[in-house]
Structure 1
Amino acid sequence: MSIVHLQNVEILNAEAKFSDPYIFKITFECISPLEDDIEWKLIYVGSAESEQYDQELDNCMVGPVPVGVNSFEFEAAAPSPDKIPAQDLLGVTVILLTASYKDAEFIRVGYYVNNAYETEEMRENPPEEVDLSKVRREVLVSKPRVTRFNIKWDSDEKPAPPASADADGGVTSNGFNSVEVS
């Protein structure tokens, strides 16, 4: 049984310039005390061809985590374009928001991201070299792919088999606890 339940992930700037940071508001419930902090990461998939182009945009440790509903904002820098193959700068890719406890990933939320020129004219007649100052990203927030992994929590003896599900929207709650992001 999972001790931490993700309730809602809101991307505060789903449509933005390619170079703008990603800003998330994450709400989760903790149903039992935890000994350690939770690590959150945002990964940008630079190319479908190879993981070598994946970039960890940022990570943060959240804790101590009190029992109850917790919420925090997580901001991650935009990907470094020089680490992405030129042919993969435009078009559809993926970002992955992950959460781990004691180095064991227990949830992953994936979103499709479309990087395209701002104007129809530039989309139809793109310059030879990609001009990222004129590229906007759009995160498809309505269809996240949520994968849950059963892990060994503090009081568990052994992890259960993995589980997976598609998210069809989050649940929001009132009465948030404050959590420290470091």
Structure 2
Amino acid sequence: MAKVQIVNVEVLDNPSPFFNPFQFQITFDCIENLSDDLEWKIIYVGSAESDEYDQELDSVLVGPVPAGRHRFVFQADPPKPELIPVQDAVGVTVVIITCTYHTREFIRVGYFVNNEYNDPDMRENPPEIPNFPKLMRNILDSKPRVTRFKINWDDNAENGAVDEETPPSPQTNFGSSIEEVHSGCEGTFGVDQGHLNNSNNGLSSMSDHQEKLSKGQIYENSTDSMDMRMFVE
């Protein structure tokens, strides 16, 4: 059984301008004392075509973690525009929160993100070179894709296989909402099409990014500064 369970993730400051920081308030339960740190990361997927364009926006070490309920705000700078392919700057992409223990990833929470112009004229006639200051970012937080991985929480065995994939609502307790929303986990995961661009490109992009939300990739470590508040309840 996992020693850490995410209870809730709340997306803050959403929708927001493209250059605003990402902010997630994460609540998790720890069933027993952990002697070492949990490492949390925020990863922005620059393109569905290649992992080359993934950007690790920030990472933070939290711990040692005593048993109980914990809450912190994880804030990260926006992605660097120069690292995003021009054709992928506007439209649907993905942001992923991961957590590892002893370098073993045991959970990831993925969200679709829609970047579009606030100006109706720019939406109808987008510039050839993306105008990032004019873009608004909307994280589709109603039904994230949550993927859990079985790991050994000690150091005497290797990692296990994927445990389950479930898309609980971030507005309710993660544990109690699994069964309620499991039937909506395919396709667009129940996302309101009104949140997307009016063209079919939005839904096509969501399909392209679907695999990114759940496949077990390994990301390079890169720790930057962040604004974090942590509480033990």
Tell whether the structures are fold-level matches, with TM greater than 0.5.
Answer: yes
SS in 1 for 2:65: coil
Query: Which whole-Å CA distance do the structure 1 matches of 2:146 and 2:53 have between them?
Result: 22
2:68 match:
68
Work out the percentage of aligned pairs sharing the same amino acid.
50
1:178 match:
231
Residues 1:107 and 2:160 aligned together: no
Q: Give runs of aligned pairs for residues 31-42 of structure 1, distance below 5 A.
A: 31-42=31-42
Distance 1:47 1:160, change over 3 A: closer
Moved more, 48-57 or 162-171: 162-171
- Asked if structure 2 preserves the Cα contact closer than 8 Å seen for 1:14 and 1:141, the reply is no
1:57 match:
57
Moved more, 49-58 or 163-172: 163-172
2:79 match:
79
How far did 1:154 drift?
2.7
2:127 match:
127
How far did 1:125 drift?
1.3
Query: Which whole-Å CA distance do the structure 2 matches of 1:124 and 1:171 have between them?
Result: 40
2:162 match:
162
Provide structure 2 residue ranges, at least 5 long, that are not aligned to the other structure.
175-229
SS in 1 for 2:82: helix
Structure (1/2) with the larger strand percentage: 1
Distance 1:21 1:157, change over 3 A: same
1:61 partner letter: L
- Asked if structure 2 preserves the Cα contact closer than 8 Å seen for 1:99 and 1:107, the reply is yes
How far did 1:78 drift?
0.1
Query: Which whole-Å CA distance do the structure 1 matches of 2:53 and 2:160 have between them?
Result: 32
2:216 match:
none
Residues 1:4 and 2:4 aligned together: yes
Query: Which whole-Å CA distance do the structure 1 matches of 2:99 and 2:145 have between them?
Result: 14
How far did 1:108 drift?
0.4
- Asked if structure 2 preserves the Cα contact closer than 8 Å seen for 1:35 and 1:154, the reply is no
2:199 match:
none
Residues 1:152 and 2:152 aligned together: yes
SS in 2 for 1:143: strand
- Asked if structure 1 preserves the Cα contact closer than 8 Å seen for 2:150 and 2:159, the reply is yes
Provide structure 1 residue ranges, at least 5 long, that are not aligned to the other structure.
none
1:141 match:
141
SS in 2 for 1:123: helix
Query: Which whole-Å CA distance do the structure 2 matches of 1:9 and 1:85 have between them?
Result: 29
RMSD between superposed Cα atoms in Å:
1.7
Deviation by residue 1:80-130 (Cα, 9 ceiling, x = unmatched): 000011111001000010000010000000000000001222100112221
2:210 match:
none
How far did 1:155 drift?
7.9
- Asked if structure 2 preserves the Cα contact closer than 8 Å seen for 1:40 and 1:60, the reply is yes
TM-score scaled by structure 1? Answer: 0.90
Structure (1/2) with the larger helix percentage: 2
In the comparison of the two structures, how many residue pairs are matched?
175
Moved more, 11-20 or 139-148: 11-20
